[in-house]
Amino acid sequence: MMDDFAIEARLDEFAGETVMKKRIGFGYPINQESRLVSFYKWLWGSGVNLAMTDNAGDPFDMETEHLILNTLEYEREVIEFFGPLYGFEVDKLWGIVTFSGTDGNNHGLYFGSKYLEKKTGKKPVVYVSEAAHYSSMRLTDLQNLDMRLIPADVHGRMIPEELNKVLADDRPALMVFALGTTFKGGIDDMDAINAVLAGHPSIEVYRHVDAALFGGYIPHTRYRDMLNRKVHPFDSIAVSGHKFFGMDEPAGFFITTREIKENQNPFAVPYLNGSMPMINCLRSAMSPLKLWWIIKHTSEEDFVRQSTGMLERAQWLKEELTQMGWPAWLESASNTVYFKRPSKEIVTKYALAPDHDDRLGGDLSHIVIMQHVTKERLQGFLDDIKDHM
């Protein structure tokens, strides 16, 4: 066993490094401006910090008197807050707070495939762009679903004509729309893809949207219709909680309609109030509480300020790099600037994620402009690029 002094010394060193590094973590879509300072002040003295709480069962099943020590009612309120932002009707939606965006995609693929199977008696084919996050591919493999990977254009968007070439007319289609893609922030053109699908009227379609990062901010910008299912129909959406919202641990949410939830494999579980269509037995009780805290302490004006600020700084960075003669790109509605990969030293200093695209000259890096990625910090990065040119 280590003595207390050694334990604390080691942890203090780790804490110092964490606090220092979080300022310049530019390469991944994490909001390092914690929205939970006052939450922890409340939690510390509340007694909840010393209780084991968990969310088992359906947050939309109100007959849960025998389920105690949970935050199901907060979880439900979180889903009811976010659902309408994507065009879901409050009295027709269903959802859960997930462990991550990946967990939300797992539910999207699972719910989509079971819904289509129930409707058509056939297993669907999953169609997803090669630029989408790898979780959809991994999960398709995990769920033993057939997948067709559709080529993406240079902007990271699924090419609708390529989809048209491989659509299976005798099988239902489980579409995964990427909004936006992890590296380039490309946004699949739902209208163009739907036009292709409309040319195959015999195919039953389920549409799942992977909006892990963009799902957080798009509803608070002029691009909000992109993620409004009343404008572009979709059946379910997965968003990460730890990307835009300032959570301090992996989390997310999955939202769909009650109709889809009611057409799943039921697996009745009497001690959890009957039907359990979701994949995990227990979910975190803390994540819904933290998300609830965040939405109760953030005004719409504040969400708008954070979202538009990120997009403005992304535009500014792209223009500054271009003016310096450093090749850089930024997709519409995206907070992710991608550019010719700088020196190894800069890549390491700012924790820049790598990618490669021969169509754009080879090695690339990107910066995801989150709330903590200020102009001042970006200026430091630009100065570093200039020094190494």
Ligand X SMILES: Cc1ncc(COP(=O)(O)O)c(C=O)c1O
Task: List contacts with ligand X (CB under 6 A).
Answer: 29, 100-102, 133, 135, 178, 181-182, 210, 212-213, 240, 250, 252
CB 104 to ligand X: min, Å: 8
Nearer to ligand X, 48 or 353 (CB): 353
Kindly tell me which of 70 and 335 has the beta carbon lying closer to ligand X: 335
Dist. CA 132–CA 188, nearest whole Å: 9
CB of 371: closest distance to ligand X in angstroms?
A: 16
Residue 22 or 41: the one with the smaller Cβ distance to ligand X is 22
**72 vs 209, beta carbon nearer ligand X:** 209
Find the helix packing angle between 300-323 and 375-387, rounded to 10°. Answer: 20
Angle at 144 between CA 142 and CA 147, to 5 degrees: 100
- Min dist. Cβ of residue 177 to ligand X (A): 11
Tokens of residue 99, six digits:
């462990």
Shortest Å distance, C-beta 250 to ligand X: 6
Judged by beta carbon, residue 58 or residue 210, the one nearer ligand X is 210
Distance of closest approach, residue 223 Cβ to ligand X, in angstroms: 16
Residue closer to ligand X by CB (options 273, 335) is 335
Compute the least distance from the CB of residue 27 to ligand X, in Å: 11
The smaller minimum CB distance to ligand X, of residues 29 and 87, is found at 29
d(CA 46, CA 262): 37
Question: What CA–CA distance (Å, rounded) separates 369 from 311?
Answer: 8
Closest CB to ligand X among residues 29, 160: 29
Q: Which is nearer to ligand X, 273 or 287 (CB)?
A: 287
Question: Cβ-closest residue to ligand X?
Answer: 101
Smallest distance, ligand X to C-beta of residue 208, A: 11
Picking from 220, 257, 215, the residue whose alpha carbon sits closest to that of residue 240 is 215
CB of 136 to ligand X, least distance (A): 8
Angle made by CA atoms 340, 239, 306, in degrees to the nearest 5: 65
Residue 47: CB minimum distance to ligand X, A: 30
- For the chain, how many residues are written? 389
